[in-house]
Structure 1
Amino acid sequence: MGIADKAKNAAEELAGKAKEVIGDLTGNKDLEAEGRTDQTKADLKSAGENVKDAFKK
């Protein structure tokens, strides 16, 4: 996984965490759920990249 991909996934996960917290604080359940979804997407992308890296070795 390239450094750019790692940074992009980390940024997406951080943004998702921020959305989740803001949604929780404001009582906006949709925003909170969107934040959790963003975090899950970032985690899945990272896992996929890790699998690709494992097969390259």
Structure 2
Amino acid sequence: MVPLLLVLLLVLILFGAGFAVKALWWIAVFVLVVWLLGFVFRPKARTGRWYRW
């Protein structure tokens, strides 16, 4: 019974990690799109940068 519970626990952990990784990929794609749009729609300032680094 214990090995079966351990396998089920492992499956649940891997399923949760897979979902988290997929969510992180979508967040990364969204941030990349926002970053690229920042270059397209940047203000016509002297420095030409839309961020303050």
- TM bucket (normalised to shorter chain) is 0.5 to 0.7
- Structure 2 alignment gaps of length 5 or more: 1-7, 42-53
Residue identity opposite 1:38 in structure 2: K
Is the aligned partner of 1:31 residue 2:15? Answer: yes
The alignment of Structure 1 onto Structure 2 pairs a total of residues equal to 32
Unmatched runs of 5 consecutive residues or more in structure 1: 1-25
**TM-score of the two chains, using structure 1 as the length reference:** 0.52
Which consecutive aligned stretches of 4+ in structure 1 deviate over 2 angstroms post-superposition?
A: none
More helix by share: 1
Q: CA RMSD in A?
A: 1.4
Q: Helix, strand or coil: the match of 1:33?
A: helix
Amino acid paired to 2:19? G
Distance in 2 (CA, whole Å) between partners of 1:52 and 1:31 is 32
Length-normalised TM-score, structure 2: 0.56
Name the % identity.
6
